[in-house]
Amino acid sequence: MIAIPKPSEQQRVYRRRPEWTQALPILPVILFLAIVFLIPVLQLLRLSFLDADGAPSLQHYAKLFSTPLYVRVLSITFKVALWTTLISLAASYPIAYLLATTTDRYRAHLLLWILMPFWTSFLVRTFAWIVLLGRKGVINEVIQAAGLSDAPAEIIYNFIGVMIGMCHTLMPMAVLAMLSVMQNIDTNLLKAASTLGARGGQAFWRVYFPLSMPGVAAAGLLVFITALGFFIIPALLGGPRDMMIAQLIIFQVEELLNWGFGGALGVLLLATAIIVFYLYDRMLGMSTLAGSTPAADRGGNGARSPLVRFSTWVGGQVIAALAWASSAMGAAIDRVVPRSDHRPPRADSRIVVRIVAGLLIAFLAVPSFFVIPVSFTEGEFIEWPPRGFTWRWYEQVMQSPIWQAAMFRSVTVGLLTAVLSMLIGVPAAFVLVRRRLPARTAIMALILSPLIVPNIIIAVALFYLYARLGLVGTSLGLVIGHTVLAVPFVVVTVMAVLRTYDERLDQAASSLGANRIATLRLVTFPLIKAGMIASFLFAFVKSFDELTVALFVTGGLATTLPKQMWADAALKVNPTLTAVSTIMLLVVTGAILLAEHLSRRTAR
């Protein structure tokens, strides 16, 4: 790089405010989480240190560690989360790469497909997989009709089913998190690498891949932590051994009313997750995800720990090996299929990326398309093939004021949750990336912990808080509760984008006379737009698909869509839910297309 003064030196020139005031924007998120999350949840978890009579006791923890079951299930939970993360990252990367390197218009269209799982409720998605993957399901019928296998493939009620369900749910998030970073990578760097003699593979692995790592790290963190709390998908698509700790916690809290022991399990999960986060942070975290800006990293003091240096070295070796392998493979292919002069080397790798990413996108979109024909069945179940044709389920939804109010409320609460999460999350992300903060790891742990603490514990804790504040049964209470769950997504995603953002652009704007607001509006926000949109979507969807807090916090008539779906599926999951999902799919996709059309018109 050209010798531009390091930001730390330059900052002193144009910043007049004292150092500590620059960290102030992080306060809202800390205060918010402390009041509506940390204190109420700690009050509840405190019960795990008391016996039945309220005297201090470690009996719950003694039981927890003397019964092998709980540590075993905890390790299964981490195993499931880890595999989900690895598979989701590997499968999302080609999609994100294709999207990042294609034209704007094409990207917008592909995004619609990738977002589809977001708009169908988790209940509908899971039952769609049950019907698709079952012994007599669509996929097995196709396999057998094609003569690929005599016996039905065992792809559900085992670990494979769990992975399919969980990756399908979490991949859109991983794609968006990666994409928001990849979109800021200058593709001219690849061309520069090529002119300097790097083959396609070398240029990708040595230049593009390292630059995309913050997005991968953010995606991995979000997927891993979200997966830790899953339990419905493993319970419905998994085998008897796919047991998640969240389910055991719910059993203690709801069925046995043993909040002490349930709390102890919650503490175990939280403590383990924080230790994992701490290790991740030490080895990769702050330098890949968000820590210091690239410039400060390089110019940093020599005090990096041997652990960090070792993991950096390992990372470098892995990338070098991958680069070597891919160029060797390219050379081998060239030897088998001689290259004609007018076919540039990048063209075939491009075709491979398109095919792989296309298949993966189809995997994301298929269950949503499956839902549409099913919603016209005359039967009472979600089944394939649908029987006959009827508008009956749509009529039921359209004639029911409850369904309509639920749709309207879920969209409203989702939008407000997204706005509130952005208002407190985005400034926090800026501070976390750009300022030196004491106890930054602890602050990050606080921001991430709403994703780790099982929703049932948050829901109970919020109820006691809201009872005192008079917020039980209000939409405001629901928005606040959902913001607790959504704000980690906003912070992590925006942090990842800012990591690749060159702060010197802001300084350039500032030196050209732009004030802070103008800099944000005209320089910073346009450059991190992809990350902002992604975090807005994450926050919206988190609220839009949330059931537990909604069940606890909303009173009676103020029902949300997931709650109404849950109620409707009391005995069996019926096609009304697919009709609602189809409506939401059309409404949201239509809204996105319209917004896009309008913005393109104004752009002209």
| Positions in 67-96 near other proteins (CB under 8 A) | 67-69, 72-73, 76
3-state secondary structure of 50: strand
Secondary structure (DSSP) of 141-201? HHHHHTTS-SSPP--SSSHHHHHHHHHHHHHHHHHHHHHHHHTTS-THHHHHHHHTT--HH
CA distance 362 to 357: 9
Q: Where are the beta strands (DSSP E) in 36-116?
A: none
Question: Residue 149 Cβ, how far from other proteins at the closest point, in Å?
Answer: 17
Question: Residue 564 Cβ, how far from other proteins at the closest point, in Å?
Answer: 7
Q: Out of 280, 379, 394, 596, which residue is the one contacting other proteins (CB under 8 A)?
A: 379
For position 130 contacting other proteins by CB under 8 A, the verdict is yes
Residues in the chain, how many?
604
Give the nearer residue to other proteins in terms of CB position, either 256 or 587: 256
Scanning 78-86, 126-134, 166-174, 210-218 for contacts with other proteins by CB under 8 A, the matching segment is: 126-134
Single-letter residue type at 320? A
288 within 8 A of 496, measured Cβ to Cβ = no
Give the nearer residue to other proteins in terms of CB position, either 254 or 297: 254
State which of positions 457-496 bind other proteins (CB under 8 A). 460, 463-477
Q: Out of 141, 348, 383, 502, which residue is the one contacting other proteins (CB under 8 A)?
A: 383
Give the nearer residue to other proteins in terms of CB position, either 77 or 288: 77
State which of positions 399-438 bind other proteins (CB under 8 A). none
14 within 8 A of 507, measured Cβ to Cβ = yes
For position 556 contacting other proteins by CB under 8 A, the verdict is yes
Question: Residue 530 Cβ, how far from other proteins at the closest point, in Å?
Answer: 31
Question: Residue 36 Cβ, how far from other proteins at the closest point, in Å?
Answer: 11
Q: Out of 380, 391, 516, 590, which residue is the one contacting other proteins (CB under 8 A)?
A: 380
For position 164 contacting other proteins by CB under 8 A, the verdict is no
For position 142 contacting other proteins by CB under 8 A, the verdict is no
531 within 8 A of 497, measured Cβ to Cβ = yes
Question: Residue 70 Cβ, how far from other proteins at the closest point, in Å?
Answer: 9
DSSP 387: P
Number of residues that bind other proteins (CB under 8 A): 75
3-state helix vs strand vs coil in the chain, percent to 5: 75, 0, 20
CA distance 225 to 216: 14
Phi, psi of 410 (to 5 degrees): -65, -40
Give the nearer residue to other proteins in terms of CB position, either 240 or 338: 240
Question: Residue 263 Cβ, how far from other proteins at the closest point, in Å?
Answer: 10
For position 382 contacting other proteins by CB under 8 A, the verdict is yes
For position 281 contacting other proteins by CB under 8 A, the verdict is no
For position 165 contacting other proteins by CB under 8 A, the verdict is no
Give the nearer residue to other proteins in terms of CB position, either 127 or 277: 127
Residues 6 or more apart in contact with residue 38 via CB below 8 angstroms: 446, 449
Give the nearer residue to other proteins in terms of CB position, either 150 or 341: 150
State which of positions 567-586 bind other proteins (CB under 8 A). 567-573
Q: How many Cα neighbours within 13 Å face the side chain of 504? A: 14
Give the nearer residue to other proteins in terms of CB position, either 309 or 468: 468
Single-letter residue type at 189? L
Q: Out of 180, 559, 581, 582, which residue is the one contacting other proteins (CB under 8 A)?
A: 559
Q: Out of 108, 236, 308, 419, which residue is the one contacting other proteins (CB under 8 A)?
A: 236
Q: How many Cα neighbours within 13 Å face the side chain of 91? A: 25
Give the nearer residue to other proteins in terms of CB position, either 45 or 357: 45
Using alpha carbons, select from 222, 232, 126 the residue that is nearest to residue 175: 222
CA distance 511 to 4: 14
Give the nearer residue to other proteins in terms of CB position, either 130 or 357: 130
Strand partners, 56: 50
3-state secondary structure of 473: coil
DSSP 1: -
List the x/- string, 239-268, binding to other proteins by CB under 8 A: xxx-x----x--x-xxxxxxx---------
Tokens for 317, please give them. Answer: 């070796």
